[in-house]
Amino acid sequence: MLKKLLVVATLTGLSGAVFADETLALPFGLSFSGTAALTSDYRFRGITQTETDPALQAGFTLAHSSGLYVGLWGSNVNFGSGTPSLELDPSIGYATTLESFSSKPVLDVGVVYYNYPSASDLNWAELYGKLSFKNALAEGDSILTNINYTNDYAGADADSWSLNVAYSVPFGSSGFGGVAAVGYTAVDDEYKFNGGDDHYVDWKAGVTYNFKSLSSVTAELAAVGTNIETEGLSDAGKRGVETGAVFTLTKAF
């Protein structure tokens, strides 16, 4: 149970579909967007999902002008011998701009289903609520706050809450930018923790670069980690939760 709860623990940020800035207009008020990414380590709320190996990822979103949308996000995963090799996460939600506020924040609520086709006992659903702000502290920056809840954390019939705050800002017109995020995850599992609660903090800090010669291509180099206690973990287990460098190349369309 310990390994199951650790390796399937969720980031973000950063699992779930990433919404692209570019969208393809379709009839009936529909629009389509997506991303494709290659990352050196799939970290989800600070914890590796690939035993610190690279991952190929893609996400797609079909949205309606009413604010309703459906999404699908996928990645290869590796939790060790006998575990699934693929994660496919469908989601459905509603996003709207809160026009009554001067800052015009965007509210996004929905549900995501973490799905492992070859290991259905790990499947679980999670509710989420997000609030994002543009140009909050500097021109072109953004703040994203979110709260997530599930009563079936990692398929283990355990309640879990996750909170996260992320910030991104461009460095003028250089193409470079900065990113930072901090999250808090709490799990209540009386069987695993003898009636107690388990909780941890995860973080991310790094730089990004938007390629001017390559449309909608972004590179990111970030330090990602957690404060999870590593005593008793294998060397591979320690690397999967301790702070490490993660490089990600993303194409939005």
Q: Which of 144, 105, 152, 93 lies closest to 126, judged by CA?
A: 152
| pLDDT at 190 (0 to 100) | 55
Output the pTM of the full model.
0.89
Q: Could you tell me the two tokens for 134?
A: 């543009």
Taking all residues of the chain, what is their mean pLDDT, rounded to a whole number?
89
Helices H / strands E in the chain, number of each: 2, 15
pLDDT band at residue 109, thresholds of 50, 70 and 90?
Answer: very high
Q: Which of 85, 51, 15, 4 lies closest to 238, judged by CA?
A: 51
Can you name the residues that pair with 206 across neighbouring β-strands? 179, 222
pLDDT band at residue 87, thresholds of 50, 70 and 90?
Answer: very high
| pLDDT at 26 (0 to 100) | 87
pLDDT band at residue 68, thresholds of 50, 70 and 90?
Answer: very high
pLDDT band at residue 197, thresholds of 50, 70 and 90?
Answer: low
Q: What is the pLDDT of residues 230-253, one digit of tens each?
A: 988 899 999 999 999 999 999 999
Give the CATH number, domain containing residue 225.
Answer: 2.40.160.40
pLDDT band at residue 24, thresholds of 50, 70 and 90?
Answer: confident
Q: Tell me the HSE value of 72 on the side-chain side, using a 13 A CA sphere.
A: 3
Domain total of the chain: 1
- Identify the domain containing residue 46 by its residue range: 2-252
Q: Could you tell me the two tokens for 74?
A: 């996928």
Q: What is the pLDDT of residues 129-183, one digit of tens each?
A: 999 999 999 999 999 999 999 999 989 899 999 999 999 999 999 999 999 999 9
Find the range with the poorest average confidence among 29-43, 67-81, 180-194. 180-194
The structure tokens 């995850």 sit at 185
